[in-house]
Structure 1
């Protein structure tokens, strides 16, 4: 039994801010773990480029949402302290301080590690001014033919005010002086066009065809910027990039039409308050002063970098052809699911028993087929589904539209408030409505984040309900890159609860009792706290007590306080938290029974799986919800039990294997700092990569099935790079 005892429970203030880590600083720590993969020499070179790009993409969103939120709180004179006892101003100061260090680290990795290694592989990111005359001639022709016609330089003077610089666009600012006339210095800016490729590959040199060279679009424009201002001398030019507050502010109670209100707010996102200004460190001081004054950014919000702005361009480099040997090839996901790979009707397979899938190791295609088959099955009467984020060319959307066209009752909840997918979801919502689907736009004041599909089918013995519940979105693209679990079942208790969920979402009907599902914001938080308290009771009674919880983030103070209490009671608690973790592990007498680990690997760890030992009768749950205030109090979420012994064993294997990971796991120490396990592993120790193990196991299962069926399954992979 773990250390602890009931005598400690009344000695501590478990809500003391000193016991908690600030949410924003914890997120920066997470992104540092992503960045560490770019630093890790054991990763293939192009995978390191990918992780550096991902860290930059993550940072963009953090500025546009979280840093923007802090600034909004300061402007509104918001006085409430955060979970760690910090004011909004204290948080912003600490965040910007850490982010400046983080960005410096990004560019140290780029300049000191990755660029030299690319050179060894004979791939060079070139500055046009250092190229040969032949190359310059090629670039000059390329500029004149493809780039110049697209550019729109904008002058700033008494009759032309400083233009609106759109969010996340790359621009080039210049100080100009008329070739003839007065000595006044003018300013002009031009946007680097998004419609052109940012990475331009030069023709291979005739004398050495093995060398590959690329030029960045902004460097090309800089080299020929004088062609944009023929009557001026260009004194100096430099690229700059601005990020703006992109957090939508919607008063749902006052909005007459939520869809139209969100459409209006999306357009405003491009012109929100400037949050960060990125510039090249060599920028002329006068030019920087002019830009920063016009954008109204403070010195602390100016990030001067030693290299190309917006490192997400490295994903374009990653996709260059001819460098496959520098990428990761050990994964063979997604694989077929053995239960579905026998040629049987999908509804017949589910009727034989519950099926748990582990994505992306097992293919998401069965979820797509579940909806596609229902769309054309004459026995299917109704399809109901929640959609939070879907892919750009979603086969599920097409299947739902086909089902409506075939006369089935189709009800779809499309969450319009899914951040940065609002515009995409509006398009899908309108398309589904035109197809004849009944579309619900979520609930006022809440986001609908649960992942649930209900299919009502007429069979010989009456009406039967088939249900799919999941931890991840109905997105066939990200399902190849995010780890999630999904459950197929036709058990009546789940079907009744699924029906109740949709009745609640579409109207005002809520049953008096529920069979299996726990819902937020109704009572999911209380259910989680009760489960933690139950383990505490078992520990105090000397019975087996343990909690294993895998999720994306944990920052709910009430839940964390209960975990601290359970730890003091002697409950062994293992947390597998990919991202934000406001809990401090290893505090003497308080959280010394708690471990926290984060796995950052080739796939994004997205599943939410919970294990409660329950005195020797373990219970397993999966959920769409992290243990965060927004999930438990401001969203519609679902937690569902997994009760089949075979499926419980599958969940245990996932949790147990990740707790043994020594290659991609980072473990929090008593100081709240994460240490990568591979860096402290004794020499000669066996390295365990949980993601590789799951991929190999899925491949092996399919291989054994193929041997039995004498046929071959060919997997496909299409990674999504958003972390």
Structure 2
């Protein structure tokens, strides 16, 4: 017998067997996931069954069809082109001809319909790559009866050329895993019939229904959603299969007419059943079929904007929309926003109702319990991950605006790609880890990890499509008009190709290593580097022969964009054109670019390590081997090659199984990885960095006008001399970093009266003047202490280098506190003042890193002061940072220090404004910060607003606070200001009944800043500095280009 099958009692037991080891040392490839539907035919009187024959048509998830006919003398199977079952049975395929010899196909009817979810794998010996056996792990649902029973099976069969007997492996599996061979009849249709009969006799109970149909109905470029109160969801129906889909159509549209197709099936979670996602088109839109107002039609971009909000977060709907968002069968999802129709068009009534719905639901109607600020409720909050994606959408909007200089538009496109890389590495990686670990804890706004991943996928596929539309518009328009052309190999002339061929042979080919994509002995699946561009190469040994695959990783040391006269050519185009030299004697059929992103967080046991620096270094070295969380491919890559990459990346040799799924595959319709556009912006003009301060490009109008930074100490003999008379507030890049902070450290390094310099480094970047000045100070005999934070994500290796080089120069270096990051931007200079041994402290407290490069691109604030109380506080903090491994314990008079007392003091300041409002003294809070995500702070702001305080917030990025909700936050306004420079400063203002207080520093109102980091916020008391902060807040709150956050989590702005 060449096949054996065993019944498996439960889905959980089947899942265990999928990953179980095989006997006889057999190795297994990674399991492949698939779905198919089987229709079994017979005459009403059972003519085929009586003659020992059977007939089956199989449909797979890609709508391919196979006809199989079995009889006593043998069987045969063939793939068929016909679509309808009747046409298949009457067709010319060999199984159909044999069938007609036995029975008239016109008499056949469907007697059993089975839907099968399958995990399949092949088994082979370690040194013999040919597969010996096939194994299928099937969950079978019997359709066509009210109960729709379900059963599970393991099937084992012998592959061609196998030398290992099936019977031997079957006995070994039975002994090891307690499998019991299926009794006769073992045919799947017969077992389904017996189970159905047992149900009818009441001798068995069906498996619980774990399947649901969700309908993605499209008409005139719009998608149908059902409205129930304040909730929007896709039409859905319990059950599965085409009949359940038609039933959903009948219930929602009053008829079952329409062209339907299965898009995919999503496995069940704890919050919902398995979901079959069906696409329905060519519908007859009967708007009277559903209850008035229930069924409405929305543009896909309106749907995307509300995914994850209280309006649109039903679990089945999220799962189904995630499938639609990635499907090539739903091009509307990535299309440009459609023009709204007028009243004369056929869809106007439904669209008018949809616009009313969107207007009504823009301010979510929260339940009464959610209006109590002291009572936690998920409806009070916006999802942090979706808020982060909204930030990137606003950055993308800057690239889309024609008023933004051309080179800046390229940089903004590049920034979006870089931000999304980090989003996948950190946020998506963490969510996938929770799913894999079975951690079902909901987010503060109430979504489970799978629901968050679905919502992210829906938003991201649309965002990436929008990003590529912007790039293509630029390439065809402004870039081309200025002679900047990104061209493929086919667009080049002979002379251009010749020059690039020589460059490839001399400079690029020696750096390439082709790697076979095979499981043959000695050729493990090649490791794909994190965020490294690669080519998947399709090869043949001879024309017409079988295809083989290989991977060629592009060298990171070579510029991605290669310049030739009159054109810029992507590196992958050069490598693709030169592949024949890497594979002599073989035919290069095709080569498709792809790129993987890996989870990037490091796992560090900070309390157990003996050497903190060594532990961080080891973990950073493991990062390139993290599980894959995203696969980007060229749009032209065929489905089979995508599936191969996805399957192999999920089960790499490293043993770290990835949760990579279909929603994590992103198509690039053109240049893959648009972060390379930063190279293009640099090459097209002398402006570098986000700020774009280059003169030539600015003069030509390609970039922002050159910025001349102010010298805040112009004409002063010394920084300390100025600070002896008052504080100085600096605002970079408008105030020169070199002429302020760098001068402050330079004078301290040279001043013989300076005894000590202390400062923190979080992201200092590469070698800089700051490092030189610190080493010079140490060489002069000064006491220099530097706290280098090794755990600054993705800068760990740079910071390790800083720590080692500073320590080698005799500087006292501290490299971290256990369980905390030191994010504070603080510096202290201790100087002898006159005789008698008296000293005076000079301090800098800021929001930005001590990094001259980022100081030109980021907008940051810093306070230089000789205030005795601030200096004393800062000195005590440095003593704790350098003298203890525990969190700071000291009490501070002026400074707000996290995690010691910052949260409590901010809460007290907010509560004070609520008290002022209660007393009629007009409480007001204004804040400018990068992110607002601490739930305790958010609820304190809600309480202040309910008490009558006015709250105005300028939040650049993540904001979980939901503004403008009547009864909760109608006195809270949130805006986001983005532009030429990355807004990085933090300002906190409390009106205090007419005695205003201002604070600046490094901390946002996020849990990590207030609870898991060492942060410093300082009061600003100098009148001129306070006035400058006031103007800055008022200007940004009144900025017509600012985005305003709506209650549903979306952003909009009214440009003049």
TM-score by length of 1: 0.89
Matched residue SS, 1:125? coil
Which residue pairs with 2:596 in the alignment?
242
Q: Specify which of 1014, 1019, 1042 is matched with residue 641 of structure 1.
A: 1019
Distance between the aligned counterparts of 1:443 and 1:329, measured in 2?
42
Distance between the aligned counterparts of 1:304 and 1:628, measured in 2?
34
| 1:331-363 CA distance string (max 9 Å, x none) | 5142211xx110412211111111111111001
Distance between the aligned counterparts of 1:445 and 1:330, measured in 2?
44
Distance between the aligned counterparts of 1:650 and 1:295, measured in 2?
54
Which residue pairs with 1:102 in the alignment?
463
| 1:642-691 CA distance string (max 9 Å, x none) | 0111111111111111111113x11112332111231xx3xxxxxxxxxx
Which residue pairs with 1:195 in the alignment?
557
Distance between the aligned counterparts of 1:231 and 1:293, measured in 2?
29
Which residue pairs with 2:720 in the alignment?
347
Shift of 1:81: 1.7
Q: Are the counterparts in 2 of residues 174 and 287 from structure 1 also a CA contact under 8 Å?
A: no
Gaps (5+ residues) in structure 1? Answer: 1-6, 204-211, 682-723
Matched residue SS, 1:55? helix
Distance between the aligned counterparts of 2:768 and 2:453, measured in 1?
39
Aligned 1:265-280 pairs, distance under 5 A: 265-280=619-634
Matched residue SS, 1:389? coil
Q: Are the counterparts in 1 of residues 396 and 412 from structure 2 also a CA contact under 8 Å?
A: yes
Distance between the aligned counterparts of 2:646 and 2:900, measured in 1?
47
Which residue pairs with 2:842 in the alignment?
466
Q: Quick check: 1:488 aligned with 2:850?
A: no
Shift of 1:11: 5.0
Q: Are the counterparts in 2 of residues 38 and 51 from structure 1 also a CA contact under 8 Å?
A: yes
Q: Are the counterparts in 1 of residues 382 and 961 from structure 2 also a CA contact under 8 Å?
A: yes
Which residue pairs with 2:104 in the alignment?
none
Distance between the aligned counterparts of 2:370 and 2:1020, measured in 1?
32
Q: Specify which of 169, 179, 195 is matched with residue 532 of structure 2.
A: 169
Q: Specify which of 265, 281, 289 is matched with residue 643 of structure 2.
A: 289
| Residues 117, 150 of structure 1: alpha-carbon distance in 2 compared, 3 angstrom cutoff | same
Distance between the aligned counterparts of 1:417 and 1:10, measured in 2?
39
Shift of 1:115: 3.2
| 1:519-548 CA distance string (max 9 Å, x none) | 111111111111111000000110021000
Q: Are the counterparts in 2 of residues 520 and 631 from structure 1 also a CA contact under 8 Å?
A: yes
Higher relative contact order (CA 8 A, sep 6+): 1
Matched residue SS, 1:136? helix
| Residues 12, 526 of structure 1: alpha-carbon distance in 2 compared, 3 angstrom cutoff | closer
Which residue pairs with 2:454 in the alignment?
93
| 1:64-93 CA distance string (max 9 Å, x none) | 111101111112222322110111111111
Q: Are the counterparts in 2 of residues 129 and 223 from structure 1 also a CA contact under 8 Å?
A: no
Q: Quick check: 1:432 aligned with 2:793?
A: no
Distance between the aligned counterparts of 2:897 and 2:889, measured in 1?
12
| Residues 566, 398 of structure 1: alpha-carbon distance in 2 compared, 3 angstrom cutoff | same
Which residue pairs with 2:968 in the alignment?
590
Q: Quick check: 1:156 aligned with 2:156?
A: no
Aligned 1:431-580 pairs, distance under 5 A: 431-461=805-835, 462-508=838-884, 513-580=891-958
Distance between the aligned counterparts of 1:285 and 1:76, measured in 2?
30
Q: Specify which of 633, 656, 667 is matched with residue 1044 of structure 2.
A: 667
Distance between the aligned counterparts of 1:533 and 1:317, measured in 2?
50
Q: Are the counterparts in 1 of residues 484 and 684 from structure 2 also a CA contact under 8 Å?
A: no
Distance between the aligned counterparts of 1:165 and 1:326, measured in 2?
41
| Residues 176, 486 of structure 1: alpha-carbon distance in 2 compared, 3 angstrom cutoff | same
Shift of 1:330: 2.9
Q: Are the counterparts in 2 of residues 417 and 447 from structure 1 also a CA contact under 8 Å?
A: yes
| 1:180-226 CA distance string (max 9 Å, x none) | 8x9342211111111112111212xxxxxxxx311111011112222
Q: Quick check: 1:253 aligned with 2:253?
A: no
Which residue pairs with 1:414 in the alignment?
788
Shift of 1:512: 5.7
| 1:433-474 CA distance string (max 9 Å, x none) | 111111111210000011111111112152111111111111
Q: Are the counterparts in 1 of residues 388 and 958 from structure 2 also a CA contact under 8 Å?
A: yes
Q: Are the counterparts in 2 of residues 564 and 590 from structure 1 also a CA contact under 8 Å?
A: yes
| Residues 200, 10 of structure 1: alpha-carbon distance in 2 compared, 3 angstrom cutoff | closer
Which residue pairs with 1:44 in the alignment?
405
Which residue pairs with 2:711 in the alignment?
336
- Higher mean alpha-carbon deviation, 509-518 vs 341-350, is at 509-518
Distance between the aligned counterparts of 2:890 and 2:506, measured in 1?
69
Q: Are the counterparts in 1 of residues 369 and 375 from structure 2 also a CA contact under 8 Å?
A: no
Gaps (5+ residues) in structure 2? Answer: 1-367, 651-659, 686-695
Distance between the aligned counterparts of 1:73 and 1:379, measured in 2?
55
- Higher mean alpha-carbon deviation, 346-355 vs 632-641, is at 346-355
| Residues 434, 172 of structure 1: alpha-carbon distance in 2 compared, 3 angstrom cutoff | same
Which residue pairs with 1:689 in the alignment?
none
Matched residue SS, 1:477? helix
Which residue pairs with 1:62 in the alignment?
423
Distance between the aligned counterparts of 1:264 and 1:492, measured in 2?
42
Shift of 1:113: 4.1
Matched residue SS, 1:382? strand
| Residues 351, 321 of structure 1: alpha-carbon distance in 2 compared, 3 angstrom cutoff | same
Distance between the aligned counterparts of 2:970 and 2:1032, measured in 1?
24
Q: Quick check: 1:313 aligned with 2:686?
A: no
Distance between the aligned counterparts of 1:551 and 1:332, measured in 2?
24
Distance between the aligned counterparts of 1:287 and 1:91, measured in 2?
28
Matched residue SS, 1:677? coil
Shift of 1:254: 1.4
Distance between the aligned counterparts of 1:18 and 1:628, measured in 2?
19
Shift of 1:179: 2.6
TM-score by length of 2: 0.61
Which residue pairs with 1:690 in the alignment?
none
Distance between the aligned counterparts of 2:438 and 2:772, measured in 1?
47
Name the structure where helix makes up a greater proportion of residues.
1
| Residues 10, 107 of structure 1: alpha-carbon distance in 2 compared, 3 angstrom cutoff | closer
Distance between the aligned counterparts of 2:488 and 2:427, measured in 1?
35
Shift of 1:317: 0.9
Q: Are the counterparts in 2 of residues 236 and 284 from structure 1 also a CA contact under 8 Å?
A: no
Distance between the aligned counterparts of 2:585 and 2:537, measured in 1?
14
Matched residue SS, 2:625? coil
Matched residue SS, 1:124? coil
Q: Are the counterparts in 2 of residues 390 and 474 from structure 1 also a CA contact under 8 Å?
A: yes
Distance between the aligned counterparts of 1:571 and 1:318, measured in 2?
46
Which residue pairs with 1:132 in the alignment?
493
Q: Specify which of 731, 739, 748 is matched with residue 358 of structure 1.
A: 731
Which residue pairs with 1:404 in the alignment?
778
Q: Are the counterparts in 1 of residues 387 and 1049 from structure 2 also a CA contact under 8 Å?
A: no
Q: Are the counterparts in 1 of residues 847 and 984 from structure 2 also a CA contact under 8 Å?
A: yes
| Residues 624, 11 of structure 1: alpha-carbon distance in 2 compared, 3 angstrom cutoff | closer
| Residues 166, 106 of structure 1: alpha-carbon distance in 2 compared, 3 angstrom cutoff | same
Matched residue SS, 1:293? helix
Q: Quick check: 1:185 aligned with 2:185?
A: no
Which residue pairs with 2:49 in the alignment?
none
Shift of 1:112: 3.1
Distance between the aligned counterparts of 1:137 and 1:220, measured in 2?
11
Structure ID, larger Rg: 2
